[in-house]
Structure 1
Amino acid sequence: MIARLHLYLVDAAACVVIGVLVGYAMVEYQEKPWWLVVPGAFLVALPVAVRRFWPMASLVVSTLATVAVVISQLVPVPALGAPVGAVGFTLYTVAVDRSRTWSLAGLVFATVCVSGVSGGEPETWLVGVAVLGAVWAMGYTTRLRRSFQLRESASAAEQALADERLRIARELHDVVAHNLSLIAVQAGNAAHVRSPEHAYEALRVISEASRGALTEMRGLLGVLRSDASLAPSPGLDGLADLAGRASLAGVRVTLEVRGDAVVPEGIGLSAYRIVQEALTNVVKHAAPASCTVLVEVEPDAVRVEVADDGPGVRELGVGHGLIGMRERVAVYGGTFSAGPGADGGFRVVASLPVR
């Protein structure tokens, strides 16, 4: 709104300047009385002030007013530059806001009218054509540039939407994989334990994991279908819950978060998902085992380390867990490594730069 008001003020200022110049030309060359000078200057300059509201009408009025003040000898031909300035302003707006057909028609109309009252001298006629043609070319070029920018913006918005949907699909995969891994492990435990208490505990974990997965799936799918509002994305404050759920699945998790847990949302979400995927791999491949999760928040990076004391064997080329973690780190230009630990087990280390 402020930007539009600024443009209207500029037009009003241009209207005043052109009106003063036209009035000065009337008085300087022929000393016309004020009761002819004021209406004539007003008629020529007013269209400049309203050109953004009615481009074509402003061009027609300013052009015909220019013809009228010249024919009536209010403005002599040598002073034609002032009223032609008003025609140029309105022609530029037509070239910017109207189609090529209409703007070319406006150019021909203005050129013919101005040339008709320019005195018939070839030099004056050529100058008028050149000036109005240059004004039209600038306006039309501006129109093409704005159109190109709009197409670029629309393309960027579509690409951003596609990227966001792809990100949501990956989030959905992470949620489902993590919770289904817990459910599979606990279902296997429940099938083999002989103690009812352990069986009930396993079923409770299955129930909680399945409800959590369904809740997150509904939320993520809601984004794909509409603009449904969601709870905040999980971050470092959700790591304790992840550790607790992994412990219920038979992995003894030690969690330590060093530094300020307040980090950018994207960094926090990526760190959360990396820990989630790493714990899922531990549950799938190393349980029962012990696992240490260390998250260090530094001024320029968030470092995540997940290490377990399991067999230390992973099929690195199979599945999407390690690939997904590596992609999350690559988005922020960080570093990622995964492999057997120095003392056995398996170790995942990721560093996410804070921009």
Structure 2
Amino acid sequence: MIAKLHLYLVDAAAALVIWTLVAYAMLEPHVHASPFVAVPLAGLVAAPVAVRRLWPVITLGVITAATVVVVTTQVLPVVALGAPVGAVCFGLYTVAVDRDRTWSLAALLVTVIAIAGVSGGEVESLLVAVAALGSVWAIGYTTRLRRSMLERETSQQAEQALADERLRIARELHDVVAHNLSLIAVQAGNAAHVRSPEHAYEALQVISDTSRAALTEMRGLLGVLRSDADLAPSPGLDGLADLADRASLAGVRVKLDVRGDAVVPEGIGLSAYRIVQEALTNVVKHAAPASCTVLVDVTPEAVRVEVADDGPGVRELGVGHGLIGMRERVAVYGGTFSAGPGDGGGFRVVAELPVR
């Protein structure tokens, strides 16, 4: 609002200057114009400049018509045509910026014909008027094109940001659902085969706790789509212990080792958490029951994540989105990622996330 008011004040000042110049030219001794006629006519030429941003086409029409009238009635001498042409330039520029090319070209043609008609037929005056008006139109139209490009770029950036956010949500949902449903499936299978009611009850309790945790995390994750959502912090390195506990309930013996300062940038912490989560999900699905070692080494330069198990080392690396998602998370930060059979058997995932 303050910026717009500033622009209107600039236009009002320009209108006042043009009004003064035109009125002064009309009051020259050899013109013999009455002040009661000169001042209002000068205002008719100059005052519309103050409202050119509100009504561009009307403003230009009034200024051009008033200029033709004051010159043809000889109230304003031709030699003093510069000030009215300046007012016309203000109006033409606004039309070129505010209206499409058809409107602005029509306005340029009309103003050139009008100014040429009252310039006395002198070639020099005509060329100066055409050059001035043509230059003003070109500047205004170029400004319009530049603003249009900026608007398109802003719109494209907003669309890209939305697409990136949707992709992020899809990736997070995949990790949350895949991990928790894998644990639920394992425990449901255990509950279906055990003969002891106590063991079945324990499996059902794990299913209940895992489902509740998954729903809570999904609710918080999808809450980014709502402006009134009360969001919880994104999971990070502090949540790795819970991941290890849940994987242990699914039959995977997890040894967790977090070295260094666990306080890292939120994005790095979330990516490391999701990589460990997806790696443990793969162990639960493909290697359970098995032993698994999770090593997270935090240094000022990078966060290194290593997840290794002693289960079957054969995995279908090209199937599913788990390994692809881990690789993408690492690529976002320009890190390194590898996944494959371990040296002593089993499967090993190594990711390094640079701390920028």
The aligned residue for residue 182 of structure 2 is: 181
Q: Shift in Å at residue 202 of structure 1?
A: 1.2
Hey, what's the Cα distance between the residues in 2 that align with 1:24 and 1:342?
Answer: 95
Corresponding position of 1:14:
14
**1:324/1:85 Cα in 2 relative to 1: closer, same or farther (>3 Å)?**
same
The answer as to 2:126 corresponding to 1:93 is no
2:143 corresponding residue in structure 1:
142
Note the C-alpha offset of 1:285: 2.7
Distance 1:200 1:221 in 2: 31
Q: Which residue identity does 1:316 align to in structure 2?
A: L
What TM-score does the superposition give when structure 2 sets the normalisation length? 0.85
Aligned equivalents of 2:91 and 2:238: distance in 1?
A: 60
Question: Could you tell me which residue of structure 1 aligns to residue 231 of structure 2?
Answer: 231
Give the match's secondary structure for 1:8. helix
**Aligned pair in 2 of structure 1 residues 15, 268: CA closer, same or farther (>3 Å)?**
farther
Distance 2:348 2:115 in 1: 81
> In structure 2, what is the equivalent of residue 204 of structure 1?
205
Q: Secondary structure at the match of 1:234?
A: coil
- Cα deviation digits, residues 228-253 of structure 1 (max 9, x gap): 73624333333232122112212233
Give the percent of matched residue pairs that are identical in Structure 1 and Structure 2.
78
- TM-score scaled to structure 1, two decimals? 0.86
Name the structure 1 match of 2:125: 124
How many angstroms apart in 2 are the aligned matches of 1:282 and 1:237? Answer: 21
Query: What code does the residue aligned with 2:84 have?
Result: P
The answer for the alignment partner of 1:4 in structure 2 is: 4
The match for 1:77 is 78
Residue 166 of structure 1 is matched in structure 2 by: 167
Per the alignment, do residues 137 and 256 of structure 1 end up closer, same or farther by CA in structure 2, a change over 3 Å counting? same
- How far 1:215 moved relative to its partner? 4.5
Unpaired runs of 5+ residues, structure 1, are: none
Instruction: Note the C-alpha offset of 1:344.
Output: 4.4
1:153 CA drift (Å): 3.0
CA shift, 1:52, in A, is 0.6
In the alignment, is the contact (CA less than 8 A) between 2:224 and 2:231 conserved in 1? Answer: no
Partner amino acid, structure 2, of 1:135: V
SS of equivalent to 2:137? helix
Contact preservation (8 Å) 1:29, 1:76: no
Determine whether 1:59 maps to 2:68.
no
What SS does structure 2 have at the residue aligned with 1:292?
Answer: strand
1:192-249 C-alpha deviation (Å, 9 max, x unpaired): 434332221111111222333344456666767x767362433333323212211221
Report deviation, 1:347.
2.5
Counterpart for residue 268 of structure 1: 269
Query: Secondary structure, in 3 states, of the residue corresponding to 2:307?
Result: strand
Unpaired segments ≥5 residues, structure 2: none
Question: Does 2:350 align with 1:322?
Answer: no
Displacement after TM superposition at 1:328 (Å): 1.4
Match of 2:286 in 1: 285
Separation in 2, partners of 1:24, 1:254:
92
CA positional deviation for 1:325: 0.5
2:44 counterpart of 1:43 = yes
Which amino acid is the alignment partner of residue 199 of structure 2? H
Alignment: residue pair count: 354
Q: Does 1:333 align with 2:334?
A: yes
**What does the per-residue CA deviation read over 1:164-201, in whole Å, with 9 as the maximum and x for residues that have no partner?**
32332232222221112111221232234343322211
Moved more, 43-52 or 290-299: 290-299
